[in-house]
C-alpha cells in the first residue's frame, strides 16, 4: 500500500454498534472494511484478507485480542490499533509491548479513531514524512525508501512505529531524545495519552536488535529519555 491508496482495514470487535460506527467513519475516508466478531474469525480474516491495518478490540470471545495480536505478530508487521476498555497504563503497555502500534480507550470518539488510523497508515507508507535515504551505522542499515531495517544482514521485522522510532534515533547518534520528543518526531502526531508508551516500543526494538546481533544500540538516559549509541553497533 502506498500513501493515497485506499487501505483494506480489518475491524475486530464483537459489539455491532461499535463495528457499524467505526465502519461508517473508515468508509467515509475511502477505506475498504472487513469485519471479524471474535478472535478465531479475526485470525482467519487476517490470513485470507491480508488487511493493510487491523483495528483490534482486546475483549473478545474465545481467543482474546492480546493473543490475536501475538499470533499476528508472529507472521506479519501489519499495523494494529488496539481498542481497550481497560484504562490502566499497565494494560496499555502490555498491548504495545506485544506489537500494537497505537491504542484507544473505550469509550472513544470515532473521529479520533479515524485520525489514528490515518496517522498509522502515513507511518506505514513512510514516504510522505520520512525522507528517502539510507542510514548506515556500523552493522545497522535502515532503508527509508523500502521501509526496511537490518542488523548484521538480518531483517529486523519492525512495525511501522518501531521503524520510525529507530530511524529517528539512528539519524542523530548520541542525541538524547525525551519521550515527548520521540512521540512528536517518530510518530508524527501527538494524541492525548502517556509518554511511557515509547518505553514499550523501545523494549521491542531492543529485543529485535539483540536477537539479530546479540547487543542493542539504544541507551536509556535515566530521567530524560533515550539515545542511539553508535559504538554499540559497530
- Residue 6 is predicted with a pLDDT of 80
- Residue 130 is predicted with a pLDDT of 46
Full set of structural domains in the chain with CATH? 8-125 (3.40.50.2300), 134-232 (1.10.10.10)
- pLDDT tens string for the chain (234 positions)? 544 458 999 999 999 999 999 999 999 999 999 999 999 999 999 999 999 999 999 889 989 999 999 999 988 889 999 988 766 666 677 778 888 888 888 888 999 999 889 888 887 765 444 455 788 888 899 987 777 899 988 999 888 888 888 988 998 888 998 888 887 776 665 444 556 778 888 998 999 998 887 778 899 998 889 999 875 443
Q: Rounded CA gap, 162 and 190, in Å?
A: 16
Q: Are 162 and 170 in contact (CB under 8 A)?
A: no
- Residue 187 is predicted with a pLDDT of 64
Sign of the C-alpha dihedral computed for residues 19, 46, 198 and 2 taken in this order: negative
Q: Rounded CA gap, 105 and 102, in Å?
A: 10
Strand partners for 226: 177, 220
Of 29, 56, 52, the C-alpha closest to 42 is 56
Backbone angles phi, psi at 21, to 5 degrees: -70, -45
User: At a CB cut-off of 8 Å and minimum separation 6, what does 193 contact?
Assistant: 103, 183
- Residue 72 is predicted with a pLDDT of 95
Q: Rounded CA gap, 21 and 18, in Å?
A: 5
pLDDT tens, 6-47?
Answer: 899 999 999 999 999 999 999 999 999 999 999 999 999 999
3-state secondary structure labels for all residues of 42-56: HHHHHHHHCCCEEEE
- Residue 60 is predicted with a pLDDT of 92
- Residue 3 is predicted with a pLDDT of 44
- Residue 226 is predicted with a pLDDT of 93
Amino acid at each position: 500500500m502506498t500513501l493515497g491508496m485506499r487501505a483494506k482495514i480489518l475491524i475486530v470487535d464483537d459489539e455491532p454498534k461499535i463495528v457499524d460506527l467505526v465502519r461508517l467513519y473508515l468508509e467515509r475516508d475511502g477505506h475498504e472494511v472487513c469485519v471479524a466478531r471474535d478472535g478465531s474469525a479475526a485470525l482467519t480474516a487476517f490470513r485470507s484478507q491480508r488487511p493493510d491495518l487491523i483495528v483490534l478490540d482486546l475483549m473478545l470471545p474465545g481467543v482474546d485480542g492480546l493473543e490475536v495480536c501475538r499470533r499476528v505478530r508472529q507472521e506479519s508487521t501489519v499495523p494494529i490499533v488496539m481498542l481497550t476498555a481497560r484504562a490502566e497504563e499497565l494494560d496499555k503497555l502490555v498491548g504495545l509491548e506485544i506489537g500494537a502500534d497505537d491504542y484507544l480507550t473505550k469509550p472513544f470518539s470515532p473521529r479520533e479513531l479515524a485520525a489514528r488510523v490515518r496517522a498509522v497508515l502515513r507511518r506505514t507508507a513512510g514516504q510522505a514524512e520520512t525522507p528517502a535515504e539510507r542510514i548506515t551505522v556500523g552493522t545497522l542499515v535502515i532503508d527509508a525508501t523500502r521501509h526496511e531495517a537490518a542488523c548484521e544482514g538480518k531483517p529486523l521485522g519492525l512495525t511501522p512505529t518501531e521503524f520510525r522510532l529507530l530511524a529517528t534515533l539512528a539519524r542523530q547518534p548520541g542525541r538524547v531524545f525525551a519521550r515527548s520528543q520521540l512521540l512528536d518526531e517518530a510518530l508524527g502526531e501527538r494524541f492525548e495519552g502517556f509518554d511511557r508508551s515509547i518505553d514499550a516500543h523501545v523494549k521491542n526494538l531492543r529485543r529485535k536488535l539483540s536477537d539479530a546481533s546479540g547487543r542493542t544500540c539504544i541507551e536509556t538516559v535515566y530521567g530524560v529519555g533515550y539515545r542511539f549509541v553508535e559504538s554499540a553497533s559497530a
